[in-house]
């Protein structure tokens, strides 16, 4: 081997060993991290891991109290589901207890999110199935409390969207609703 090349290799190896050694010494001399900072770091990493996980999670929605059938209904409350736009393409609908409901949406609506509660008092939801029968989209349903739920965004198609809402209740009963959403 060329003596000049051999000398350069020895010099570069020596420089790398010194740089690595300096890094190790500074790391060992660094003061210990306080336990409260470690706990914060672990909590941050756990939250970040949850955020990056592949599971679908509901978007936080402010809690709303449903109108019970034995309570007085304000005159300003319209019969049927209440809808409001989240954006031009997304609409949120709060369902009432009618078995069949109908709603008209703007032509820009591409997604729909449902929320509501079971109509039978003091009955817990054990499982729910919500499906847009018109395009085959099955929604992911999240229980927000023992008797209430919300969904992820349900894909809509132009024209009629027949959405079937089915809840299996703890007492063994079933509760089924139909929502007809018309996208103009």
Residue 58 maps to a domain: no
In order, the DSSP letters of 94-134 are: E--S-SEEEEEE-TT--EEEEEEE-SSTT--EEEEEEEETT
Categorize the per-residue pLDDT at 52 as very low, low, confident or very high, splitting at 50, 70 and 90.
low
Residue 61 maps to a domain: no
Domain that holds residue 33: 3-52
CATH no. for residue 104? 2.60.40.10
Query: How high does pLDDT run on average in the chain?
Result: 79
| Whether residue 175 sits in one domain with residue 92 | yes
Categorize the per-residue pLDDT at 120 as very low, low, confident or very high, splitting at 50, 70 and 90.
confident
pLDDT score of 68 more than 70: no
| Whether residue 39 sits in one domain with residue 87 | no
* Predicted local distance difference test score (pLDDT) of residue 4: 85
- Total of domains in the chain: 2
User: How confident is the model over 10-45, as pLDDT tens digits?
Assistant: 999 999 999 999 989 988 887 776 666 666 666 666
| Whether residue 98 sits in one domain with residue 18 | no
| Whether residue 115 sits in one domain with residue 160 | yes
| Whether residue 7 sits in one domain with residue 91 | no
Residue 40 maps to a domain: yes
d(CA 150, CA 102): 18
Average pLDDT value for residue range 107-112: 90
Task: Let me know: does 154 contact 114? Beta carbons within 8 Å.
Answer: yes
* Predicted local distance difference test score (pLDDT) of residue 71: 39
Residue 76 maps to a domain: no
* Predicted local distance difference test score (pLDDT) of residue 74: 45
d(CA 115, CA 112): 10
Residue 67 maps to a domain: no
| Whether residue 116 sits in one domain with residue 165 | yes
Average pLDDT value for residue range 132-148: 92
- Three-state SS at 59: coil
* Predicted local distance difference test score (pLDDT) of residue 17: 96
Residue 23 maps to a domain: yes
d(CA 164, CA 143): 17
* Predicted local distance difference test score (pLDDT) of residue 96: 82
pLDDT score of 50 more than 80: no
């Amino acid at each position: 081997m060329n003596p000049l090349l051999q000398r350069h290799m020895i010099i570069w190896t020596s420089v790398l060993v010194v740089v690595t050694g300096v890094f190790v010494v500074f790391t060992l001399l660094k003061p210990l991290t306080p336990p409260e900072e470690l706990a914060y770091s672990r909590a941050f990493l756990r939250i970040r891991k949850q955020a990056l996980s592949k599971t679908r999670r509901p978007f936080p929605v402010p809690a709303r109290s449903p109108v019970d059938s034995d309570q007085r209904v304000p005159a300003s409350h319209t019969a049927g589901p209440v809808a409001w736009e989240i954006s031009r393409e997304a609409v949120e609908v709060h369902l009432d207890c009618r078995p069949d409901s109908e709603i008209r949406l703007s032509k820009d609506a591409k997604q729909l999110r449902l929320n509501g509660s079971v109509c039978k008092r003091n009955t817990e939801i054990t499982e729910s199935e919500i499906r847009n029968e018109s395009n085959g989209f099955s929604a992911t349903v999240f229980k927000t409390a023992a008797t209430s739920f919300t969904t992820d965004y349900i894909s809509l198609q132009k024209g009629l969207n027949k959405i079937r809402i089915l809840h299996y209740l703890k007492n063994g009963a079933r509760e089924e609703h139909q929502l007809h959403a018309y996208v103009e």
